[in-house]
Structure 1
Amino acid sequence: MKFVFGRQDWNTLRRGQEKCYLLTNEKGGYSCLTMIGSSARQEQVLLMASVKAPNNWVQMVSNVEELIHREGKTVSLLSQEYVGYAHNQEGFRHLQGFEVNPFPHWTYQVQGFRLEKTILLAHGGNQVALDYVLHNGGEEPVVVDLKPWLRMTPKGEMPKIGEKGNVTVSEIHRHGQKLYFACDGELLLEGETWQEDLYFQDDAKDDRSAVGKAFSDHRFRYRLEKGETRRVSLIYSTEPVTASVETLRREELKRQKDLQDQAGITSALGRQLVRAADQFVVDRESTGGKTIIAGYPFFGDWGRDTMIALLGCGIAAGRKADCESIFRTFMAYVHQGLMPNMFPEGDKPPMYNTVDASLLFIYALHAYYEEFKDLDFVREALPVMAEILHWYQKGTDFHIRMDEDGLLEAGGGFEQVTWMDVRIGDVLPTPRHGKPVEINAYWYNALMTMAHFERLLEGEDRAKDYENLAGRVKKSFLEKFWNGEKGCLYDVVSGNPYDAQVRPNQIWAVSLPFGMLDPQREKQVVRKVFEELYTPYGLRSLSPKDPEFKPFYGGSLWDRDTAYHQGTVWAFPLGAYYLAYLKVHGFTAKAAAAVMADLSMLEGTLQEGCIGQIAEIFDGLAPTVSKGCFAQAWSVGELLRALKAAEEILRKQTAEALAEKEV
Structure 2
Amino acid sequence: MPPGSVMTFGPHACSSAAGFEHEWLVTDGTGGYATGTVAGLRTRRYHGLLVTPQRHLALAALDPVVTLPGGAVVRLAVHEWASGAIDPAGHHHLEHFELADGVPRWRWRIGEVVLERELAMTHGRNSVAVVHRLVAAPAGVSVELSLTALCTWRHADAERDRTSGPPAVAVVPGGFTVDGAYQVNGPDFRPIGEWYLDAYAREEAARGLSPVEDLWAAGTFQATLVAGGTVSVSAFSGDLDSPPPAAPVVVADARRRARKLLRTAATAGARDGVDKALALAADTFIVTSPDGSPSVVAGYPWFGTYLRDTMTAYEGLFLATGRSEEGARLLRAHRDLPTRMRAGALHDADGPLWFVHAAERHIARTGDTDLATELLPVLEGVIAAYTKGTSDGVRVDPADGLLLIDADESGLTWMNARLPRGPITPRDGKPVELNALWANALGAVGALRERCGRDASVVHARRDAVKAQVVKRFRAPDGWFFDVVDAQPAAYPKGGGSVHDDAVLRPNQLLAFSLPYAPAADEAHLRSRVLDAVGSALLTPLGLRSLAPAEYGYHGAHRGGVVPRDAAYHQGTVWAWWLGPYVEARLAAGLPVDGLLAAVEAHLTESGLGSVSEIAEGDAPHRPTGAPFSARSVAAVLHARAVIRENRKLQTASSGKNEKMKLARDAAPRKRRNALR
TM-score (norm 1): 0.91
1:475 aligns with 2:486: no
Quote how far apart the aligned CAs of 1:536 are: 1.8
Partner of 2:48: 45
Partner of 2:544: 539
Partners of 2:387 and 2:214 lie apart in 1 by 54
* Aligned residue among 433, 436, 449 for 1:438: 433
* Equivalent residue letter for 1:489: F
Q: What SS class does the counterpart of residue 335 from structure 1 fall into?
A: helix
* Aligned residue among 404, 416, 430 for 1:409: 404
Partner of 1:120: 120
* Equivalent residue letter for 1:510: F
Partner of 1:565: 570
* Aligned residue among 579, 582, 586 for 1:581: 586
* Aligned residue among 303, 326, 351 for 2:330: 326
* Aligned residue among 288, 291, 302 for 2:295: 291
- Contact 2:50–2:58 (8 Å) recurs in 1: yes
1:455 aligns with 2:454: no
The verdict on how the C-alpha distance between 1:425 and 1:133 changes in structure 2, with shifts beyond 3 A counting, is: same
1:212-251 alignment runs, 5 A limit:
212-224=213-225, 228-238=227-237, 239=240, 240-251=242-253
- Contact 1:411–1:417 (8 Å) recurs in 2: no
Partner of 1:380: 374
Q: What SS class does the counterpart of residue 313 from structure 2 fall into?
A: helix
- Contact 1:570–1:618 (8 Å) recurs in 2: yes
Listed one character per residue, the Cα deviations across residues 191-244 of structure 1 (whole Å, up to 9, x for unaligned) are 31222111000011001121122222332222246xx43233222223533423
Partner of 1:346: none
Partners of 1:652 and 1:117 lie apart in 2 by 47
Partner of 2:559: 554
The verdict on how the C-alpha distance between 1:319 and 1:411 changes in structure 2, with shifts beyond 3 A counting, is: farther
Quote how far apart the aligned CAs of 1:652 are: 4.9
Aligned residues: 631
Partner of 1:179: 183
Partner of 1:53: none
Quote how far apart the aligned CAs of 1:176 are: 3.4
Partners of 2:374 and 2:324 lie apart in 1 by 15
Partners of 1:473 and 1:162 lie apart in 2 by 62
Q: What SS class does the counterpart of residue 37 from structure 2 fall into?
A: coil
Quote how far apart the aligned CAs of 1:93 are: 1.0
Partner of 1:490: 482
Quote how far apart the aligned CAs of 1:272 are: 1.3
Partner of 1:615: 613
* Equivalent residue letter for 2:361: A
Partners of 1:244 and 1:188 lie apart in 2 by 17
Partners of 1:520 and 1:48 lie apart in 2 by 52
- Contact 1:609–1:625 (8 Å) recurs in 2: no
The verdict on how the C-alpha distance between 1:176 and 1:246 changes in structure 2, with shifts beyond 3 A counting, is: closer
The verdict on how the C-alpha distance between 1:338 and 1:564 changes in structure 2, with shifts beyond 3 A counting, is: farther
The verdict on how the C-alpha distance between 1:127 and 1:164 changes in structure 2, with shifts beyond 3 A counting, is: closer
Partner of 1:344: none
Partner of 2:671: none
Listed one character per residue, the Cα deviations across residues 38-63 of structure 1 (whole Å, up to 9, x for unaligned) are 2101101011122xxxxx12212111
Partners of 1:248 and 1:178 lie apart in 2 by 18
- Contact 1:129–1:234 (8 Å) recurs in 2: yes
Partner of 1:362: 356
Quote how far apart the aligned CAs of 1:288 are: 3.2
1:465 aligns with 2:458: yes
Partner of 1:626: 624
Partner of 2:147: 146
* Equivalent residue letter for 2:365: E
Between the aligned residues of both structures, percent identity stands at 29
Quote how far apart the aligned CAs of 1:68 are: 1.1
Deviates more, 1:68-77 or 1:364-373: 68-77
1:399 aligns with 2:393: yes
Partner of 2:92: 93
Listed one character per residue, the Cα deviations across residues 343-395 of structure 1 (whole Å, up to 9, x for unaligned) are xxxxxxx7511110111111111110121110111111111111111121222
Partner of 1:29: 32
- Contact 1:366–1:449 (8 Å) recurs in 2: yes
The verdict on how the C-alpha distance between 1:548 and 1:407 changes in structure 2, with shifts beyond 3 A counting, is: same
Listed one character per residue, the Cα deviations across residues 108-132 of structure 1 (whole Å, up to 9, x for unaligned) are 1112211111111111111211122
- Contact 2:105–2:116 (8 Å) recurs in 1: yes
Q: What SS class does the counterpart of residue 409 from structure 2 fall into?
A: coil
Partner of 2:130: 130
- Contact 1:67–1:145 (8 Å) recurs in 2: yes
Partners of 1:338 and 1:82 lie apart in 2 by 51
- Contact 1:146–1:220 (8 Å) recurs in 2: yes
Partners of 1:641 and 1:651 lie apart in 2 by 15
Listed one character per residue, the Cα deviations across residues 83-142 of structure 1 (whole Å, up to 9, x for unaligned) are 012353210111111121131111111122111111111111112111222132288642
The verdict on how the C-alpha distance between 1:188 and 1:256 changes in structure 2, with shifts beyond 3 A counting, is: closer
The verdict on how the C-alpha distance between 1:176 and 1:130 changes in structure 2, with shifts beyond 3 A counting, is: closer
The verdict on how the C-alpha distance between 1:384 and 1:611 changes in structure 2, with shifts beyond 3 A counting, is: same
* Equivalent residue letter for 1:568: T
The verdict on how the C-alpha distance between 1:468 and 1:515 changes in structure 2, with shifts beyond 3 A counting, is: same
Partners of 2:256 and 2:655 lie apart in 1 by 34
* Equivalent residue letter for 2:131: D
- Contact 1:147–1:216 (8 Å) recurs in 2: yes
Deviates more, 1:651-660 or 1:33-42: 651-660
* Equivalent residue letter for 2:465: R
- Contact 1:617–1:628 (8 Å) recurs in 2: yes
Partners of 2:228 and 2:167 lie apart in 1 by 40
Quote how far apart the aligned CAs of 1:558 are: 0.9
Partners of 2:86 and 2:447 lie apart in 1 by 66
- Contact 2:184–2:233 (8 Å) recurs in 1: no
1:390 aligns with 2:367: no
Partners of 2:576 and 2:286 lie apart in 1 by 19
Listed one character per residue, the Cα deviations across residues 224-267 of structure 1 (whole Å, up to 9, x for unaligned) are 46xx4323322222353342344323332232222233232112
The verdict on how the C-alpha distance between 1:443 and 1:115 changes in structure 2, with shifts beyond 3 A counting, is: same
* Aligned residue among 504, 520, 525 for 1:520: 525
Q: What SS class does the counterpart of residue 550 from structure 1 fall into?
A: coil
Quote how far apart the aligned CAs of 1:557 are: 1.0
Q: What SS class does the counterpart of residue 143 from structure 1 fall into?
A: strand
**Aligned residues: CA RMSD:** 2.3
Deviates more, 1:252-261 or 1:570-579: 252-261
Q: What SS class does the counterpart of residue 22 from structure 1 fall into?
A: strand
1:265-280 alignment runs, 5 A limit:
265-280=270-285
Partners of 2:502 and 2:181 lie apart in 1 by 52
Quote how far apart the aligned CAs of 1:280 are: 0.3
Listed one character per residue, the Cα deviations across residues 304-335 of structure 1 (whole Å, up to 9, x for unaligned) are 11110112111222212221221122222432
Q: Gapped runs of 5+ residues in structure 1?
A: 51-55, 340-349
1:338-349 alignment runs, 5 A limit:
none
TM-score (norm 2): 0.89
* Equivalent residue letter for 2:129: A
The verdict on how the C-alpha distance between 1:77 and 1:430 changes in structure 2, with shifts beyond 3 A counting, is: same
Partner of 2:670: none
The verdict on how the C-alpha distance between 1:465 and 1:653 changes in structure 2, with shifts beyond 3 A counting, is: closer
Listed one character per residue, the Cα deviations across residues 440-491 of structure 1 (whole Å, up to 9, x for unaligned) are 000111111111111222221xx1111121122122212210113x211110
